[in-house]
Structures are given as C-alpha cells and as structure tokens.
Amino acid sequence: MILAEGQKVRLRNIGVRDLKAATAHKYTLSITEPLTDPARAREVYDQTGFWTKDAGACAIEGVAEADGGRLIGTLQFYRAGPGIHGLEIGYILHDEDDRGKGYASEALRLFSDLLFAENPWCHRLQLIIETWNDASARLAENCRYASEGTLRKAGYSAPDAPSDCFVYSRVRD
C-alpha cells in the first residue's frame, strides 16, 4: 500500500519481498528490536506488518523509470520515550550511490507529514544523529528540523564506546 508519494520517492508498506534487502543493513529495521535476521524479521512482519500505533517501518522506493520501483531504503518510527508527546524517526538509504540525490530529504519530509497527520496526539518528531554524521545533520536542517543540543554518549555505532549525538526536532505547527 502506498503511504505517500513525491517526485523522487514513494513510501509504501514493507512487503515480504523486501525483507532480505531491508535486513542487510545494521540500522535498517528497528521497530521492536534491531532486525538484521530475515527469519526474525518475517516473524515480526507476520505479527505486525511492521506498522503499529507505537512503531512502524516503511519502504522508500524510487518513482523514476530508471529506479523501476526499487527499494532504495527504509524509514522507521517509534515512541520517543516516556513523557514525550512524540515519535523518533530513523532512516537509511541502502546504497551509497543513492545518497546526495534528494531521495532521503523527500522521504523524510513525506514521512514527517504522514506521522503528524496520522497521530493527532503527536506534537514532536525527533531525530538522534551521531555528531560525526554531517550529511544527516544537513538533511535534518533541510527538512525543517531544529537543532536542540547534544546527547552525550548516546550513540549506538560502538556499544563499548558510545558517541555523542545531536538531537533535532520538528514540532507540530
């Protein structure tokens, strides 16, 4: 099912055909837990379809004829935390060759608008971006997310040596 469509990408529900590609990346699916095992991803898919009121994931698919409906990446959301009236978003483009072409920015804008539209209780969307990830920080700012500060030692790329992260948010206007 198509959730949203722009000029470069469409957001749609993840299907069984996407599971192998969607679990090949360390941070691709993490709606109930990090899902890097296709068999476990299939179990979660069968139980939830990767979409609940508290967490979900969708496919980023190219709309250009050259992209042929190919899975470019994924987006996910989950509750930001107790006492926060909002959701946290994560995203990834699978192939480095697809980065810098506007796919992620259009996908994040579409997804943000979709989450606000479908969740009237949600007053805040947030992104947690490791401080070394300049491209992701620029993406956040280009998508009307405001920098709020730094979370010290919150990054997850190295569990034994967590890195600092920037917090970005977009609030309901």
Min mean pLDDT across 16-30, 73-87, 103-117, 139-153 is at 16-30
Q: What is the CATH number of the domain that holds 6?
A: 3.40.630.30
**Which helix (H) or strand (E) is 152 found in, with range?**
none
Range of the domain at 43: 2-125
For the chain, the domain total comes to 1
169 inside domain: no
Q: What pLDDT does 156 receive?
A: 72
Domain presence at residue 172: no
Q: Mean of the pLDDT values across residues 123-127?
A: 96
Token digits for 71?
A: 């899975």
pLDDT tens digit sequence for 31-85: 556 677 778 888 888 988 889 888 999 999 998 777 677 899 999 999 888 888 8
> Is residue 152 assigned to a domain?
no
Within a domain: 112: yes
Burial of 73 (0-12, 13-18, 19+ CB in 10 A): buried
Q: Residue 152: is its pLDDT beyond 60?
A: yes
Average pLDDT over residues 96-100: 90
The pairing of beta strand 165-171 with beta strand 146-151: antiparallel
Mean per-residue pLDDT over the chain, rounded:
88
Is the pLDDT reported for residue 154 higher than 70? yes
Please state whether the predicted TM-score (pTM) of the whole model is above 0.85.
Answer: yes
Letter string b/e over residues 133-146, b meaning 16 or more CB atoms within 10 A of that residue's CB: beebbebbeebebe
DSSP 8-state code for residue 83: T
Helix (H, G, I), strand (E, B) or coil at 9: strand
Inform me whether the pLDDT recorded for 105 exceeds 90: yes
DSSP 130-166: ETT-HHHHHHHHHTTPEEEEEETT---SSTTSPPPEE
Of 121-130, 150-159, 161-170, the poorest mean pLDDT is in 150-159
Q: Is residue 160 part of a domain?
A: no
pLDDT at residue 32, rounded to an integer: 57
Q: Answer with the residue of higher pLDDT: 43 or 137.
A: 137
Q: Do the domain assignments include residue 114?
A: yes
In a domain, 170, yes or no: no
Q: In this predicted structure, what is the pLDDT of residue 26?
A: 59
In this prediction, residue 27 carries a pLDDT of: 56
> Does the residue 17 lie in any domain?
yes
